[in-house]
Every structure is written in C-alpha cells, then in structure tokens.
Homo-oligomer: A and B are copies of this chain.
Amino acid sequence: MSTVGFIGLGTMGLPMAENLVKAGYDVVGYNRSAKRVDALVAARGRGASSIAEAVKDSDVVITVVPDSPDVEAVVMGEGGIFENSHPGQLVIDMSTIEPATARAVAEAGAKAGVRVLDAPVSGGEAGAVEGVLSIMVGGAAADFAAAKPVLEAVGRTIVHVGPHGAGQTVKAANQLMVAGHLQLLAEALVLAEASDVDPVVAVEVLGGGLAGSTVLDRKSENMLKRDFTAGFRLSLHHKDMGIVTAAAREAGVAIPLGSAVAQLIASLVARGDGGLDHSGLFKLTEELAGRSQ
C-alpha cells in the first residue's frame, strides 16, 4: 500500500500530503488550482492533472476539501473518484462535512465496490504541518486498521469512534464544545472586566479549578489583548456550526447552548467579522455589554 492519491492541497491538505511523502509514500496530488500541485511536486510528490489520474493507480485516496457539496462533487460527481476507482480501493475523506453526507458517500462507495472512511481532523494548520493532528475515524474496523499506517503519517491521536459518519459526528461535537467554551470564557471575562476585576488574575484562578479548559489556556490571551488574528476563522466555525445544527437535527437531539452560540457566530459573520479568529466571540460579547473599543 504505497501509492496515495491526494485530492485537495489547501492550507491543510498540502502539509498533510508532504508529511505522507516524508513518511515514504508515493503521493499523487490533484488540486483545482495547479500552483498547489507544483508545491507538492517541489516536495518530491507527484502531480496529477485530473482526479482520474490521481485515483487510478493509487491504493488509497485521501480527500481534504472545504464542504459537503465539494466532497459530493469530488467523490461521487462526474469524473470523480468513484468513476475512476478500482474494487477494494480505500477512500479516506478527511474534510469536515455533515455526518449524513459521510454516510451517503459510504453507501455510494459500497455500491461502487470501494471502501470508505470519514476521518476529519482537529489541530489546525500547525497540527497539519507538524503531523500531529487528532483524527476521528468512522467506518468499518477492518478499513480503519488498513488506513491506520497512512493516517499515522499525518496525525498523532488516531481513533476509531464508530460506523460511517461517526468521525464527522465527533468532529461536530468537538466544534460545538469549542464554540461554547469560547463564548462562556468571553462572558466570564467581560463580566470580570465590567466589575473592576483584574482579568489576568481572574483567568489564572479560573483556570486552576473546575472552570479550566484548553480554550481558556490557549485563547484567553487573545481575548484580553483583542488580538483576533486567525487562527481558526469564524467563517469556518460558522460553516461547522451549520454541520452541528444539521447533525443534531438529524439525530433528534436538542442543543440549546449549541444553537445559542451558533446564532452569535452567525451574527459575527453577518457583520463582516468572519475573517477573525473564533476567539472574536469576545468582541461581540463586549459590544453587547456596551464596552466595545
């Protein structure tokens, strides 16, 4: 299993593909804009000028594209992966999309004789570059076992969480929690500041107790400095909250806090702050307290 077709060489995809090359895989990359393919070739990968070319001689195909419709087009569309794949080929979609779409792709794959896994990641661009992503995988256990060596070239924590779509569900749960933690931290810090409490000391003491969180460790400084350089853009978290909402709706689960924070993120994006880091929830919370700066 040495040749990997790689579709989608964006901010995340390109460093992932490069890490596969470094791990000894023969990587054939395709991207809509050819420049990114050149970058892979410069890193000793091979370039493909079509999906067909990237797929046909590969043992494994990995896709990293922006959203559900992109996955549908690339995998199931005309000239897409399934039209060019061979029986038993393993397709690993590492995009963040709706669990329902992941299940539909897997079902179509079964008809096409192709094995499919959903394997979204967390860890951001830095995690992709360093090859230390967390990867949540949904699909058959045997396929997970087959994929694991490949995934180990790009990630550190690689977990099989359930059947098709389960990887996407866990990613959705992750994004729900992160959005909520950010907003709660913003509410706590704005309350502290509006009450003449030293927020730096507050963060220290809050972080030491039951209120501690990774978001507090990593994002409170951004908030207190009003430095909302992305990082993970609100526009992307907005896309992900759409997936969270759809996943909860499909599963029949009410998410009162999740849906409330989704509205706040939607508002930031509507106001033109989609390019800010998701810690920018602090900015809106401050404005809602009449404390904008």
Contact = CB atoms under 8 A, between A and B. Distances in A.
Interface of A: 99, 122-123, 134, 136, 138, 157, 159-163, 165-166, 169-170, 172-174, 176-178, 180-181, 183-185, 187-192, 194-198, 201-202, 204-206, 208-215, 218, 242, 245, 247-249, 251-264, 266-267, 269-272, 285, 287-291
Given A187-B253, A192-B173, A201 B270 contact: no
Nearest to A156: B208
A49 to B, nearest CB: 31
Q: Is the interface of A mostly helix, strand, loop or mixed?
A: helix
Nearest to A169: B195
B191 A180 contact: no
Contacts of A255: 187, 191, 263
A58 B151 CA distance: 58
A180 B188 CA distance: 11
A287 to B, nearest CB: 8
A188 B177 contact: yes
A206 B290 contact: no
A50 to B, nearest CB: 28
A256 B260 contact: yes
Contacts of A178: 210-211
A214 B99 CA distance: 28
A189 to B, nearest CB: 8
Given A159-B204, A209-B214, A252-B269, 17 more contacts: A134-B209, A161-B202, A165-B195, A166-B197, A170-B205, A173-B211, A177-B188, A180-B181, A183-B256, A183-B257, A194-B253, A195-B251, A213-B214, A256-B260, A259-B263, A267-B288, A270-B289
Nearest to A289: B253
Contacts of A99: 195
